Structure 1
């Protein structure tokens, strides 16, 4: 009897079967309609599906005197009753998810599978599976994966092993939520109804992550939890295929991936303690290439398409224009340039949902604080991306990238050179000697091979020389011969002169400030603002939400409960305003574990800034469209009408939070006194700037 193992029913089908097998005299369609509150047409459609399910176990849906029941031998009926009680209830999938599920099953397995098996697994009719397969066939063909249908044999796919694994991992990533993935992995007793979470053994996923944590993760840098999930899935899928006897086809070893092969060998040594595997060198090479590609310490030297390559060139021009107009070199830090490139490609290719064209206080405050820089960015965007229209919020988000870079690093006028050579120390030494002799203004010279670039902080160097062409390299560089010829020296000298002209030692002021015309009024405003800031800072509290829910709505309500009645007269209207703001645009702070919630309302008596540490992290979208795990909530509240002084201080705090990496770390991990002192110090700096 296969029924108890393979039956997968919707909630409605389970209810219908329960009524059919518990009604001794049968049950009419009319009674089923009333009991289940559905139409006659729905009942007959479900009957058609159930007939196919029952027929596989030689049971029949019968109609006697307009009353329906199930007939078969006693043993089969008893097993049916047991199966209905224990059967797994699977929510109906959308068409798109079902098609992805079909593709995932086909890609993970090589044995032909009958249409009826797909129908039972996915809880639909055989006709529906046939229609779905037509769509799946066209989609897979784009990846050069052929869907084969053989009568009396079944359905399967033919594909290169690398394409098979890559597409399968892509499907799983698109269908698995980051939070659900880790929650499922961390709670061994938890059962999930997510089909895609169950397609690979939880034990294998758990052991894969464990081995990765010991062998590979400590040696690389990942941008996000989503990237960690991708790495876990790549390895878990590969292990599944290797165990089934399938080896990756020959792949080329990427330059610089040798050390990553060592990491993969260490991983395999750990995983083979748990399972017997015969691992081919090609699989090690394949996985090493994948690990290297996920390591953000790598300098990106290639792009996935001609469009991305062209877009990266436009982004570099965009950064160059901003740098020259601001006389501040934003081009030195390749991590910044690459991160900005990924973001802009996502925007221009419509891979992400743009921020709404509405005021987002955190970003709006930044545009006031860096008014000149914001204007320059707008002009540079129009110049380099004239046909790509973006919202004001997205433009302000671009400002966030530049403002963060500006406040993170000082623009010291130091001529430091990096020399990249293809072969050995000898050539590098000749170049270094020639540079010292001919260009004494270069104070420091660093020698490097291409394979060592991943370990070098490129933003330290004003000048990069290379004896070989670096296709797609994220920094501008001078291509020279190993002997450094005279005309090349002249070219380098001209480059340095141009560099000095573009980025002089004296920094241009970025912050805009208005000169006072009436000293008495200005003094009064300053005293009011200072008193308000002192009062606000003294009221700052860092509290912990114990055993908080992982639902954002519940967390917002918990935060407001801790504010007290002396601050908010009615909490419900304030909660609704905060949730409306969250629905408008993401509230997560990029590259952090922070979420900034803020609103103003007639129900709020005075301005306040409160910080809540979460016992349980929650997953939210950040302003740059990535998902982050939030461990701390920053709550800013104010009355409906704010005075100029109040508005200024509140804007200062919100801008300060996202100003640079040091501030992000402070607001993420700092205690109450550290945060109070930092805000006070920032206010005093602004006050000093006004008085100068």
Structure 2
């Protein structure tokens, strides 16, 4: 349990004493009455849960804490670092009261809460009346038993809904994101979420999800991912306490036929193994519902689409929603494919949420209602149409998101009536090849020819680049810039996209920052790009390495193939490994690794494709090591084949994968290295285009998996030709 302010003062007094001390002396040191301290000490043992310390009290001797010096120092440090709390802040106090009630479902006396929040019992009674109204939204009620205390009355299912809603309304998700991306569990333990839930459970849940490497989990938006972690952690925590939701056979049976139900089953299997518990089938259904109601970033998911614009019923619903919004603007909105596709993608998870009464948080709802009251009122009518179709009310949070979609479409319509220009955007990541290219691809799909996007490494930004850019978008910390910088999530969530939309709308109506390039300048640039593309194609390297090779040994082999000189090999190795330490470039969900960086170890843009196979060229330091590696590869490939097809003497090329655990079963490694020279930006764009195609062009990756060198070379050359044609088209304006 969380340690209250008075208990914190008492513990600090005891921790500073070498011998037992009387209750009266403790009372004098903290400025409270002896009776107050005695009543507070009734909860001392409970407050020490999570610490290897014991509270002792003996008549005639005094009170003291017993345990190791290290543990005492840990408690003292955490008590000293604890956040301050102002009991006079009524709103904050009532939030904490809800939290305390939800954390401990059992009976608690009013004095316990008054002591925690340093207010009178009369104040707590008033607070409980207000808190009770909030809980009633979830069919929970505060029961008050004279002489016994306060207890929550209601079903376990409603209890979990209330706890999850409270977390989503009041707790920042940054700590969970950091723990997920960087394994910073300390940040999680100190966060508000960590105080509510068992932080150990949350960390183990995240480890299970991370270890599954399932595309549909890995591509959840940040809020949806955090919601899934919270949902599962609450369920695990309650199951461990013996609190189980009763089964609802009817709606569970419907979900068991859904494509996402199998994924939910896989998640539960991992959790059961991790926590050594039996998880009821009803929890599988709830996890399935959460996944279906979640939003995903740009990745092609398996399975058929639930909604389709060709579906007449869907067309009719969209037409009714648009007519309800604005009949005058309706005709133009119905011709806007970008708007229709975006609205369609939004409605799929919305249907699931509304049908199953699942809540969603909209962090910008108040801003939307304040800044765009007319649009919001129009979308209330849209929500009514949707509610009638699904026979359920549409909450304001959902209407807020609809406002964003309709509002953005109106902005585009207005833009068609004005003189607008192309906006120059710079996307920045650590190298200018990896994450920035994925972000650029999404932005280009969203804005099309309204923007021109250039990708940069963090250290590329020069005064010249700043003078020719309207604003930057970055997922990493940047130094102060002379032009606006939008900090975003690497996956560009909906809030990020809305901020970018506003900035694009603003700048495309402002005068251009620079004169257009002269035709001579454009020809020079095309020539430079053509030369660099030809260099990439001529020196494209496609080869195999032993499928059982370890990651570091693989990087060593890559360095040797990229340069014959040892000093350059060492630089290449160091540059790739340094980039890997920032964040792994092994993308199991896509089936490949993308080892990219700029390096002084190469003298030209380098593109290589490394494939798994039994490679005679691998250099071993001894015959024994060679035999061992060969046998390991043979066993691994045999196991993989038997697992998929049963024993077979021959394997299909696409079935051979890297077997080292760090490689996560990928089927190819792409190496993209850029020399530090005057063509740095051009080379970044060329190789960055290929990295984008690996995600978007499924045929390219399928060709690579077939391991036919000629076909791979032809496919990459074909994509580079498309890139060159795109550049020429931009220059000519055709």
Q: TM-score, normalised by structure 2?
A: 0.44
Q: Which has the higher helix share?
A: 2
Q: TM-score, normalised by structure 1?
A: 0.46
